[in-house]
Structure 1
Amino acid sequence: MQKAEKVKDFAYHKEKMLLCKQAEQGVPLQAEQYDWLADTD
């Protein structure tokens, strides 16, 4: 795996974790964020 891939992957997971946390706290997500979360299970 190349370094760029790893960094992108890390950012992706970090973003997803953030969205999950926001959802748990009742922060309203935008519709496309919900789709994205459901998509990447």
Structure 2
Amino acid sequence: MLGDAPVITGADYERGERPPSRGPVVAQAADACPVPARRAGEVTR
């Protein structure tokens, strides 16, 4: 699937080139590990 799409570099993007279409966005895959949430540490002074 990714091999079918042309490569667009940052310089290409600045010139206005965009991918031919937006691919599907997977928010949560069944077989993927969850991304841990970032937690702020305690602030002490």
State the structure with bigger RCO (CA 8 A, min sep 6), 1 or 2. 1
Which structure is larger by alpha-carbon Rg, 1 or 2? 2
Indicate the structure with greater helix content.
1
Query: How does the TM-score come out when normalised to structure 2?
Result: 0.23
Q: TM-score, normalised by structure 1?
A: 0.24
